[in-house]
Chain A
Amino acid sequence: MALLGFWLAHALTVKRERRKEAGEICEQIEELAEKALESALAGWGAAIGAERTSATYRAKWDAQKLGLAVTRLHNKTSDAFHTGINLIEAAATFRTALFDDPTEDFFDSSRASIGGKEAALHGAMSTFIARANQLRDIVLR
């Protein structure tokens, strides 16, 4: 009986710790998504040359930081919380929206500077953040 009590206490502690860590990553994710969006917009609008190279590199790096955080969160929550929310898929869709264009390649060093993507990319981020918030609410409740 004592052993069972010890095991239960341990399991609850592990779950509480995991919930705390997951909550912290959830907070980081919104910040990282905003940073990735900002960097992508800068990359689309950057002039040809060194500014372009630096901006697209930064955008790619910031998007990957978001992907790394989402993967860490997924690994901490998928078994323990049974959320039914696939944030990895939502992050992949957001990342594709940031860089994908049917006619212009974001990473093409010779393409023209492209503006006017703010509305579309903010829309993609809102969809992603809504999913992330759903997951956060389930994990933290």
Chain B
Amino acid sequence: MLKLGVARDFSPDPGPRKASQGQHSGEAFRRLLMRKLAASDLVEVDLDGTSGFGSSWLDEVFGGLIRDEGMSAAEVRRRVRVKSIADETYLFIIEEAINLARPRDAAAPVAA
């Protein structure tokens, strides 16, 4: 298992969703995470030690694995372990992002 600390290996100050919106974006972190996933079947992402995350940053990283990288929700859950001991609210936001994400080319879900 590879370990990837946001504060240690990326930035202590995570920024906006997209790289075009500013520094230390969720999109940039997702690219880093994809490189780690290419090298290891299991990656642990450590969220502790930063100045905080916006829900958009978390959605871009973890929902983006499904929307933009072609992974299934089951594969994300199996291959990416998220550690957030100090602030567990992030785990709920990430779980929601994974649940709601759909692959970009898939048809929108039909409302009941």
Main secondary structure of the interface of B (DSSP, over half): loop
Q: How far is the CA of A135 from the CA of B55 in the complex (A)?
A: 25
Interface residue from A71, A106, A109, A111 paired with B87 (Cβ < 8 Å):
A71
**Count, A-B residue pairs, CB within 8 A:** 81
B residues in contact (CB < 8 Å) with A: 13, 15-18, 21-22, 50-57, 85-93, 96
Contact present for A109 and B22 (CB under 8 Å): yes
Chain B contacts for A74, CB-based, 8 A: 88
Sample of 12 A–B contacts (CB below 8 Å): A57-B13, A61-B51, A71-B86, A71-B88, A88-B89, A96-B93, A99-B56, A105-B17, A105-B18, A107-B56, A109-B21, A109-B22
A residues in contact (CB < 8 Å) with B: 57, 60-61, 63-64, 67-68, 70-71, 74, 88-89, 91-93, 95-96, 99-100, 105-111
**B52, B55, B89 — most chain A CB neighbours (10 Å):** B89
Do A92 and B92 contact each other (CB < 8 Å), given the known contacts A106-B54, A107-B56? yes
Chain A contacts for B22, CB-based, 8 A: 107-110
Interface residue from B51, B89, B96 paired with A60 (Cβ < 8 Å):
B51
